[in-house]
Amino acid sequence: MLALEFPPLNEILRWRDLFPTFNKVALIAVAAALIGTIIFLIAARQDGSKAPKGIRNFAEMLVEFVENQIIMPAMGKSGMGWTPFLLTLFIFIYLCNLPGIIPVIYMPATARMAIPLFLAVLVWLVYVGVGLKHQGLGYFGHMIAPPGVPAALYPLIGPIEILSNLVIRPFSLAVRLFANMLAGHILLVTFSLLTEELIIDGDNIIFRVLGVLPFAMLILMTVFEVLVGFLQAYIFTILTAVYIGSSAHPEH
Amino acid sequence: MLTAVVKQGASGIEVSLTRRVDAIAPAPRADEEEGDHSEGDEAHHAEVDCEFPFDTTEDAAASEYPCEEGPSPILPEAKELLWGGGAFLAFLVLMRFFLYPKLRKGMDARYAKVQDGFEQADAARAAARAEVTEYEAALATVRAEAAERVDAARATLAGEREARLAEVHAEISSKRDAAMAEARAAREAAESDVRSAVTDVTSKVLEMAIGRAPTEQVEAAVADVMNSEVRS
Amino acid sequence: MEALSILAQDAAAVADFGPIGAGIGYGLAAIGPGIGIGYIVGKSVEAMARQPESAGMVRTTMFLGVAFTEAIALIGFVVAMLVQ
């Protein structure tokens, strides 16, 4: 008889401390920051006046990706000053997502609420700060009384706008990233467990043959997670760009 | 049997869990090593039914959550928040103030260089184009001059030929005139010879016929007839 | 959330309905976003086929729309995990 015991979520998400206060998720986050720093350190050390190659080419590709695919559609040319922030955000989130599909590590750091929450709060602080800097208290005024809306609708639209801008935006930003990565992680765990249960623990040739199916699915999901990891980093970054852009120029 | 082990919030879980443990005989346990799904002595573990992942019970005992299933998986953990946030902020500061500006400077320098190259190429192309037009203008003047000279030469040649032609023509016509005059003179001489001969013959025949010399009138008529007959 | 988890505990005390409820809840939460994402992507493909030169802009907007719609399904997923 087969018995599939799905481990409790904490077992697949929480890790023992490597040393006090430092666990696997923290390790991944630090490694992500370190890898990003190293890539850009090497890139910045290479001679920029020649045609870029190797790591420098890769780094410049990233910069151009952020400028052309994220800033230009979301903020326009005036948002170019935000390139370093958005670039860092994108690289950090992507490198935190990536371990979720790397064998042996198999843990996206963003599948824990801590990092998405921190980043969402940071983004919230940044775009509220930009709004206050560019529009003063009119930033909140625009929220209560959005331009282009009939005055009779203010009591209806105002609260929704305030809620949407100040609560739902950071919340959905954090939850989107976190839940996507957690769901992907749980899917991978599920198919790994099924594969293990059927192929390794299966006491019957039929089970062992059937075990190929979850294994194929595991590979498929891994490929899918590559896409999701990239897409979530991209979406988090472009939404940040959209929020900052709308704070700086409310008419857009 | 498909058992999904579930966990709830913070406190009061033991009750429900124990119940479940009591109700379902081989309680799923996570304090065992993964893959080791032994079903033995669950009575001993009933009290220490931790679902938190510890390889050994010593680890579990040393943990902050010794015998709970741990906090909700959704709540952020302070240490992860601090490490993750710290790593990100450090990365951000490095990128913002050191790495990115350096990279950007290199990129801008290269772009400026490429732009310069473009501009230089444009200038060189413009210069070349100007030179080509200059050359073409020179060529056109030279060609015009040559054409002028050729025309002049041709005109001179034509004039000379005309003059020569006229000369030759004049010469020819004068020669022809002379020849024609000579011919006419000869013919006239011959005619007058013939006429005098004919007149003589006619007068002789008349003399013989009428026995005397014809009169002046007759002779003139004969000469007239002769003239008209011979001419035609 | 407290009330939900108490509810879930009570349910678990009687019989372990928590996971079932969570599963049904998540399934219900996924219906709307599923339809929504289908609409968004379908319309985007239509737009891209009609005007291939604006494909880049359409793709960006499509991702944004998908992200907003997907958030609802993900909230359902998180709530399902909370109440189970």
Residue A228: C-alpha distances to residues A93, A223, A236 (Å) = 12, 9, 12
Name the residue of chain C whose CA is nearest to A10's CA.
Answer: C81
- Contact list in B for residue A178 (CB cut-off 8 A) is 74
The matching CATH number, chosen from 1.10.760.10, 1.20.20.10, 3.40.630.30, 3.60.15.10, for C2-83 is 1.20.20.10
Kindly identify which residue of chain B lies nearest to residue C14, measuring between CA atoms: B16
| Cα–Cα distance measured from residue B214 to residue B205, given in angstroms and rounded to the nearest whole number | 10
**Cα distance from A199 to chain B (closest Cα, Å)?**
13
Determine whether the interchain pair B8/C12 forms a contact, defined as Cβ–Cβ distance below 8 Å.
yes
Say if B12 is an interface residue toward chain A (CB within 8 Å): no
Largest CA distance in chain A: 73
> pLDDT category, B4, cuts 50, 70, 90?
very low
Is the Cβ of B35 closer than 8 Å to some Cβ of chain C? no
By the 8 A CB rule, do A188 and A225 touch? yes
Task: Give the span between the Cα atoms of A132 and A247, in whole angstroms.
Answer: 8
Query: What is the rounded CA–CA span in Å between residue B46 and residue C3?
Result: 27
B3 pairs with which residues across the strands? A5
Mean pLDDT in residue range B63-91: 79
Best mutation site among B8, B11, B13 for testing chain C: the one with the most C CBs within 10 Å? B8
The least confident of A108-117, B30-39, B164-173 is: B30-39
pLDDT band at B62 (very low <50, low <70, confident <90, very high): low
C82 contacts B74? CB cut-off 8 A:
yes
**Domain boundaries, given as residue ranges, for chain B:** 13-75
- Grade residue B66 by pLDDT with cuts at 50, 70 and 90: very low
Predicted confidence (pLDDT) at residue B18 exceeds the cutoff of 70: no
Percent of chain A with pLDDT over 70: 98
CA-nearest residue to A243 within chain C is: C64
DSSP C53: G
Chains with 3 or more CB pairs closer than 8 angstroms to A?
B, C
CA-CA-CA-CA torsion for B139, B143, B149, B155, nearest 10 degrees?
A: -170
A19 DSSP 8-state letter: B
Give the span between the Cα atoms of A74 and A42, in whole angstroms: 30
Q: Identify whether the C-beta of residue A115 lies closer than 8 Å to the C-beta of residue A219.
A: no
Give the integer Cα–Cα distance in Å for A173 and A115.
12
Distance from CA of A110 to the nearest CA of C (A): 14
**B100 to A83: CB separation less than 8 angstroms, yes or no:** yes
Contact B16 C81 (CB under 8 A): no
- Distance between CA atoms of A29 and A94, rounded to whole angstroms? 11
CB B85 within 8 A of CB A118: yes
Within its chain, how far is the Cα of A209 from the centroid?
Answer: 37
Q: Do B20 and C12 touch (CB under 8 A)?
A: yes
Among chain A residues, the shortest Cα distance to B69 is held by A10
What's the whole-number mean pLDDT along residues A141-167? Answer: 87
A22 by DSSP, 3-state: which? strand
Q: For residue B77, which phi and psi values (nearest 5 degrees)?
A: -100, 140
**Beta partners for A19?**
A22
What's chain A's Rg over C-alpha atoms?
22
Given a cut of 70, is residue B56 above it in pLDDT?
Answer: no
User: pLDDT at position A93, please?
Assistant: 96
- CA-based R_g, chain B, Å: 72
ipTM of the complex: 0.92
Chain A nearest-CA residue for B55: A16
Size of interface B-C (CB pairs under 8 A): 31
Higher pLDDT, A52 or A170: A170
Within an 8 Å CB–CB cutoff, is residue B19 touching chain C? yes
Contact A131, A162 (CB under 8 A): no
Inter-residue contact A139 to A131 (CB < 8 Å): yes
| Pick from B8, B72, B73: CB nearest C9 | B8
C1 CA: distance to closest CA in chain B (Å): 9
Strand (E) or helix (H) holding B3: strand B2-4
Mutation to test the A interface, candidates C1, C54, C64, most A Cβ within 10 Å:
C64
Q: Which of C61, C68, C74 is nearest residue A175 as measured by Cβ atoms?
A: C74
B6 and C78 within 8 Å at the Cβ level: the answer is no
User: Which chain A residues have a beta carbon less than 8 Å from that of B74?
Assistant: 113, 178
Instruction: Name the minimum distance, in Å, from the CA of C69 to any CA of chain B.
Output: 21
Q: What are phi and psi of C49, to 5 degrees?
A: -70, -35
Give the pLDDT of residue B154. 92
The three-class DSSP label of residue A5 is strand
Arithmetic mean of pLDDT, A233-237: 94
pLDDT of residue B1: 32
Q: Which helix (H) or strand (E) holds B37?
A: none
Helix (H, G, I), strand (E, B) or coil at A219: helix
Euclidean distance between CA atoms B200 and C67, whole angstroms: 147
The pLDDT confidence band at residue C15, using thresholds 50, 70 and 90, is: low
If we measure between CA atoms, which residue out of A101, A120, A122 comes closest to residue A185?
A101
Min Cα–Cα distance to chain B from C8, Å: 8
Give all chains having 3 or more CB-to-CB distances under 8 Å with chain B: A, C
- Tell me the chain A residues in contact with residue B94 when contact means C-beta distances shorter than 8 Å: 37, 40
Q: Predicted confidence band at A2 (pLDDT cuts at 50, 70, 90)?
A: low
Task: Compute the residue count for chain B.
Answer: 232
Contact A183 C63 (CB under 8 A): no
- In DSSP terms, which residues pair with A22 in a beta bridge? A19
Does the pLDDT value for residue B197 go beyond 50?
Answer: yes
The token pair at B145 is: 């001059």
Is residue A62 within 8 A of residue A233, CB to CB? The reply is: no
Helix (H, G, I), strand (E, B) or coil at C69: helix
Collect all residues with Cβ–Cβ distance below 8 Å to A135 and sequence separation of at least 6.
Answer: A141, A142, A247, A250
Question: What does the pLDDT look like over A24-35, one tens digit per residue?
Answer: 899 999 999 999
Q: Looking at the partner chain, which of B4, B72, B73 has a beta carbon nearest the beta carbon of C19?
A: B4
Q: d(Cα A32, Cα A225) in Å, to the nearest integer?
A: 18
Work out the burial of residue B41: count CB atoms within 10 Å of its CB; fewer than 13 is exposed, 13-18 middle, 19 or more buried: exposed
Task: Give me the mean pLDDT over the A158-171 stretch.
Answer: 90
Return the structure tokens found at A178: 């976190």
Q: What is the pLDDT of residues B87-117, one digit of tens each?
A: 999 999 999 999 999 888 888 888 888 899 9
Chains sharing 3 or more CB pairs under 8 A with chain C: A, B
Tell whether B74 is within 8 A of chain C (Cβ). Answer: yes
More confident residue, A159 or C1: A159
Taking the Cβ of residue B115 and every Cβ of chain C, the question of whether any pair is shorter than 8 Å is answered with no
Residue scoring higher pLDDT (B4 or A21): A21
What sign for the dihedral angle of Cα A93, A98, A104, A108? positive
Question: Which phi and psi angles does B123 have, rounded to 5°?
Answer: -60, -45
Beta bridge partners of B2: A4
Calculate how close chain A gets to C75, using CA atoms only, in Å: 7
Contact C69, C37 (CB under 8 A): yes
